[in-house]
A and B are shown apart, each in its own frame.
Chain A
Amino acid sequence: MGQIELKQVTKSFGDVQVIPPLDLTIKDGEFTVFVGPSGCGKSTLLRLIAGLEDITTGHIEIDGSDATDVVPARRGLAMVFQSYALYPHMSVRKNIAFPLKMAKMDQAEIDKRVDAAAQVLNLADYIDRRPGQLSGGQRQRVAIGRAIVREPAAFLFDEPLSNLDAALRVGMRMEISELHKKLATTMIYVTHDQVEAMTMADKIVVLQAGVIEQVGSPLELYRAPRNTFVAGFIGSPRMNLITGEEAAKHDAHTIGIRPEHIDVVESGGTWQGTVGVAEHLGSDTFFHIHNTGLADTLTVRAIGDVSLTHGDKIHLAPRADEIHRFDTAGLRIA
């Protein structure tokens, strides 16, 4: 079991309120991702759930019972830290065995569980090394191993992949997703990278300045962002947000259109402009387009390698049914 419920939780450091009153339910077995820009309070929220920080007001319930004043060790949660926080003077085996040793489990059972974890995470080859002798990805695995042997009610990850290089990051992302499928345990995963959020999450919680902007599945957020912040944050490259006359035509203060929902056409089209930067990725081409008569540059994604380059004239046709409309407060108009 691993249902976590936050009720009217707030957190202040001194006079600064980092988390205004916040309600959130994380269902058992769900992979929930907290995503938001740096400094928005993701880590703080995770640490509140872990019990490493005291909450200022409100309640936290784990599996239906109040855990607000329960010490971290008794919450049944395991955390993987951004710096991995491995114990440098202990071997990999001892690192992984540490929580079990603290729980006074008998040695035979400890060995069994550590070996099982090492098996799952492919740690067997360096089980007797120290963390200092491992690569970043291997350390990450050890940190995860230390978390899984405890068989916790939920896993908490704080930007676990941010210290890895891009290729390794993609690999570890899949491994964590697979681990979730295998264990079916609740996981809360913090990241500032919306790609990680989109690819891994069952449910994404978008945060800004401690406030939950939207909660939903990746595709819900992609299809129906509740406001301009979520619209701009989810999706890569970012959604084009257009204000002014063009928006007024759609009875909105702001309209949004994703780069992949604007077609490049031979002639005609709604907007014309000149190509600024063209990013040719082979599978796609991203164009940044100026002089459209709109306030900002437009980003457009074309499938395949389209051979337009800097300075070329381009004709664009946005798909009418993919235009998102927002009011003056930035909220979505249905």
Chain B
Amino acid sequence: MATKASRSAARLMMAPAVILLLGWMLVPLTMTLWFSFRTYLPLRGGDQGWTGFDNYVRFVTSSSFWPAVSTTLIIVAGVLAITIALGVLLAILLDQPMWGQGVVRILVIAPFFVMPTVSALVWKNIFMDPTNGLFAHLWRFFGADPVSWLSNAATPSIILIVSWQWLPFATLILLTAIQSLDSEQLEAAEMDGASPLARFFYITLPHLSRAITIVLLIQTIFLLAIFAEIFVTTGGAFGTRTLSYLIFQRVLESQNIGLGSAGGVYAIILANIVAIFLMRIVGKNLDT
């Protein structure tokens, strides 16, 4: 992009993509903002005009709002903690030379290709079902009472299911990062008297910090919006109602588009708060 001509040519070429992306983002955003200031009840009179900030006030003052925010944050934090901790471990394991490495790697990546709805249903019916699930059989085998996972430990169960889906992503990114670690650094540390654990904490983990940051940021974006896993398992019951699920209920179950749209705007604000917060604590890893 050295000359003026090539720069303007580049702009021209990029224009369609930029316009498309902008439209893709701006149209729904504008519509959400528009509806959030209107009373819009599709089955009870349709669009009934401006209401100012009523929807916003109603959404926050509803008794479901703060629990939904905290559930969202708990699920995001839980999944991040599990996927990153296990992802680092798995990446280290997969980096070891072993028999059948190729097959094992594909198996580890496989969950990522299963649709969220399908994997959640598989977990719900095959593993977590309190009478016929594999966990129930396991519990009975050891003489314990089967746990009703999705009603008695609903949030942890959802975290488990979502972690299972996102673990491959974390593992994959961390594995490529581990493979770029200079083995002479590990050998130098070994000669310097570092135990395997010390080598992990002083050499491997700092080397992975950038990859971990990337996993953290990308996963957060997607995890804030998880929906299918909740929809097909608990349906938002037993304290698993996240912010996005609450919005869904307001729009479709209560048939109140104005209220749901206001919730959407809150979700955007929440996502931005989380993003700023994350960038503050981990963003510096990206500069160096």
Contacts and interface: CB of A to CB of B under 8 A. Distances in A.
Contacts of B188: 79, 81, 85-87, 146
B266 to A, nearest CB: 39
Contacts of A146: 188, 192
A98 B202 contact: yes
A52 B190 contact: yes
Given A81-B184, A102-B198, A87 B203 contact: yes
A284 to B, nearest CB: 39
Contacts of A87: 185, 188-189, 202-203, 206
A85 B185 contact: yes
Given A98-B202, A102-B198, A85 B182 contact: yes
B190 A72 contact: yes
A302 to B, nearest CB: 45
Interface string A80-119: 0111011111100000001100110000000000000000
Given A81-B184, A85-B184, A85-B185, A98 B192 contact: yes
Interface string A162-201: 0000000000000000000000000000000000000000
B207 interface: yes
B95 interface: no
Interface in B156-192: 182, 184-185, 187-192
Nearest to B199: A102
Interface centre among A51, A71, A77, A87 (most CB of B within 10 A): A87
Given A83-B184, A85-B182, A89-B207, A77 B191 contact: yes
Given A81-B184, A98-B202, A52 B189 contact: no
Contact of A99 (B185, B193, B206, B209): B193
B182 A50 contact: no
B194 interface: yes
B191 A103 contact: no
A102 B193 contact: yes
Contacts of B190: 52, 71-73
A99 B188 CA distance: 9
Contacts of B207: 88-89
Interface residues of A, number: 24
Interface in A235-261: none
A22 B207 CA distance: 39
Contact of B191 (A50, A82, A83, A89): A50
A289 to B, nearest CB: 45
B261 to A, nearest CB: 46
B155 to A, nearest CB: 36
A83 B194 contact: no
Contacts of B203: 87
Contacts of A82: 184
Given A87-B203, A102-B198, A73 B184 contact: no
20 contacts: A71-B190, A73-B190, A73-B192, A73-B193, A79-B188, A81-B187, A82-B184, A85-B182, A85-B184, A87-B188, A87-B206, A88-B185, A89-B207, A89-B209, A90-B202, A98-B194, A98-B202, A102-B189, A102-B194, A146-B188
Given A52-B190, A73-B191, A98-B194, 20 more contacts: A50-B191, A71-B190, A73-B190, A73-B192, A78-B191, A79-B187, A81-B188, A83-B182, A85-B185, A85-B187, A86-B185, A86-B188, A87-B203, A89-B207, A89-B288, A98-B202, A99-B191, A99-B193, A102-B195, A146-B192
Closest 5 CB pairs of A and B: A99-B192, A85-B188, A73-B193, A85-B184, A102-B193
